[in-house]
Amino acid sequence: MEGGIFLSIKDLQQLLGCQSYKTANTLHLAIRDALKKKTKHITIKEYCKYEDLDFSYIWEFLRGKKEVKKT
C-alpha cells in the first residue's frame, strides 16, 4: 500500500540500503518479536520508536521527499 502506515519489508530494504529481501525480512521478524506483536504488521511509528529514529524524517524518506547523503 503506497503511503500506508505499515512498514513493509521493501520499506526496510530502502531504509537499510540493501538489496537482500531476506536480510530485511529477518529484521522485520526481529522487530515484531521484540515488540511482541501478534500480527504480521509493524507501523512506521513502532519502527521509529524501536530504532530511536525521528518519525518525520523516516516518513519523508520513505515517501521519496528526502535523500540520504552518502559520505
Name, in order, each residue with C-beta under 8 angstroms of 71's C-beta and a sequence gap of 6 or more. none
Report the predicted TM-score, pTM, of the whole model to 2 decimal places: 0.80
38-61 confidence digits (pLDDT tens)? 999 999 999 999 999 999 999 999
Q: Are 16 and 23 in contact (CB under 8 A)?
A: yes
Q: Of 5-14, 36-45, 46-55, 60-69, where does mean pLDDT reach its minimum? A: 60-69
Q: What is the pLDDT of residue 3?
A: 56
